[in-house]
Amino acid sequence: MTTTETTPPAASTGAGDYDAVIVGGGFAGMYMLHKMRQLGFTSRVIEAGSDVGGTWYWNRYPGARCDIESLSYQYSFDDSIQQEWNWSERYATQPEILEYARFVADRFDLRSGMQFDTRVTAASYDEASARWNVDTDQGDHYTGRFLIAATGCLSVPRLPDFEGLDSFEGDWYHTGDWPHEGVDFTGKRVGVVGTGSSGIQSIPRIAEQAAAVTVFQRTPNFSVPAHNAPLTPEQRDENKQVFQKLRREAETMIPARAGGPTVIPKAFDLDDDARTERYQKMWDMGGVMFMASCADLLVNKDANDTAAGFVREKIHEIVSDEKVADLLSPHDHPLGTKRLCVDTGYYDTYNNENVSLVDIRNAPIEEITANGIRTADADYEFDTLVFATGFDAMTGALLNMNIQGRDGLRLNDVWEEGPRTYLGLQVVGLPNLFTITAPGSPSVLSNMLISIEQHVDWISDCLEYMRERDLGTIEATPDAQDAWVQHVNEVGDSTLYPQADCWYTGANIQGKPRVFMPYVAGVGPYRQKCDEVASAGYEGFALAKEPAAAAR
């Protein structure tokens, strides 16, 4: 592998030949580009948006915030970033996170290595040259020794196939593809479909403006309060001192359910009063850490029932209309097996006269009409519709790229029955393609910044290892991939996670194969496994010299 003899990029598009073509300019692609530059590899990022930020570039709906605390949701690879950046709130808003991404892009001059407003339409591996050929919707052609998919897990918004949507005479929006200029709901009658994190965050904000909001709920979700607040200068300063130490601890964390912190009790180690007191304490603290109330909430259904019951009681305490509270109370999945939602005033909003809830589990949406929504038992009129209906998660962006590996092997065929990877980093038959935070890695069950940095570092180390040994190709072996997939499934099945129908398993999309996609053992054990694989000379991967035709 050479790093010096690359075709100079064309001035206008950056199209050309690179050591690595990186797809996606979100947090993963940004750091990957920076790392490639640091190591002296040539690379180019292809990004569909007009700027950096990935999911935070697109998800501009009102109320959009991160549900990981901002003091943790930041890069650690260069300490000066966190030393200089000051988060204003405990949970940062989408505009502030996007501003942070721009700050990092400016700091490291990342935009000069990125091709914006460009979407990859096809990527195929040419065995003779050991290169990936990448085509884009702008008609550009890139080649790269490596293709690195930094395409995100929640980057393909999904609009259900509602009949009649074209006939709707008002405006409609998807939360995952929100207009940059914003939406003014003042005086509008708004229908919102979907009550996942996006719906739960946006509904209270829309209701503050709109004349009336009608929420169409198929399945209620559990939500816990964020207890968001401004960060004080003291909190920020203290975090700057301890951030790197805390991050190193978080990177090696073993979940309590897998023998991690022993200070966390199991649910039935506590008597009823003590358990309730603990749930109350975690509820008052706010955020997804509610799931750490007891060590066994995600492995013991009886334990889970106690926490789920606590949240249902809270819903009934907050929502004054008992029928509405009943409807909002989830019963179909264990608490936390769907992504726990974190809200500001979600349940309270149903006490407002301008907000109503429609159960579409029993009376589904039949069609969108010119004036609104028709369910099995009523017609509703709206000026504006908001679809908070989620994403083709984890696999959607990869499958949309028309990836073909060796001998024309199509990723879409290989994954017809669901995604299979080795370590979430590679797929058999697709040499020199790396995937960042793909199925088979902790990704969406972790702080994404931790998982992104770990994958980027691991891939970068691997590329250096290959360069030092003059190796040209790397590909997961079938045995290693089979064993990893089996392990991921076994660990998943030892928890309650697979019991929920949601995007973790592909169940949110009709016809999508049902596979529990993330690796649940935790970022610590996963990192250890990846490090062991690397230390053993990339065990489970086949590494080879460049084919003669490709040597330069």
Do 70 and 87 meet the contact criterion of CB atoms below 8 Å apart? yes
Shortest Cβ 361–ligand NAP spacing (Å): 7
Question: Residue with structure tokens 């300063």?
Answer: 237
CA-based nearest residue to 144, from 365, 432, 417 = 432
* Residue ranges in 159-295 assigned as alpha helix (H): 197-209, 233-251, 272-285
In terms of CB distance, is 69 or 383 closer to ligand NAP? 69
Question: Residue with structure tokens 């949309």?
Answer: 400
In terms of CB distance, is 9 or 160 closer to ligand NAP? 160
Shortest Cβ 413–ligand NAP spacing (Å): 26
In terms of CB distance, is 287 or 522 closer to ligand NAP? 287
In terms of CB distance, is 153 or 403 closer to ligand NAP? 153
HSE-up of 174 (CA within 13 Å, CB side)? 13
Shortest Cβ 497–ligand NAP spacing (Å): 13
Nearest-Å Rg of the Cα atoms of the chain is 24
Burial tier of 39 (Cβ tally within 10 Å: 0-12, 13-18, 19+): middle
Shortest Cβ 216–ligand NAP spacing (Å): 6
HSE-up of 309 (CA within 13 Å, CB side)? 10
Shortest Cβ 90–ligand NAP spacing (Å): 13
Q: What is the 3-state secondary structure (H, E, C) of 399-419?
A: HCCCEECHHHCEHHHHCCCCC
In terms of CB distance, is 292 or 471 closer to ligand NAP? 292
Shortest Cβ 66–ligand NAP spacing (Å): 5
Single-letter amino acid, residue 92: A
User: By the criterion CB under 6 A, which residues form the site for ligand NAP?
Assistant: 65-67, 154, 160, 175, 193-199, 201, 218-219, 339, 360, 365, 388-391, 503, 508
CA-based nearest residue to 46, from 13, 12, 79, 22 = 22
In terms of CB distance, is 108 or 519 closer to ligand NAP? 519
Do 39 and 463 meet the contact criterion of CB atoms below 8 Å apart? yes
Shortest Cβ 258–ligand NAP spacing (Å): 21
In terms of CB distance, is 115 or 175 closer to ligand NAP? 175
- Say which residues have a Cβ less than 8 Å from residue 336's Cβ, sequence separation at least 6: 222, 291, 297, 298, 304, 307, 496
Q: What is the DSSP letter of 497?
A: G
Do 200 and 221 meet the contact criterion of CB atoms below 8 Å apart? yes
Given the DSSP bridges, would you call strands 17-23 and 141-149 parallel, antiparallel or unpaired? parallel
Shortest Cβ 315–ligand NAP spacing (Å): 16
* SS3 assignment, position 473: strand
In terms of CB distance, is 36 or 190 closer to ligand NAP? 190
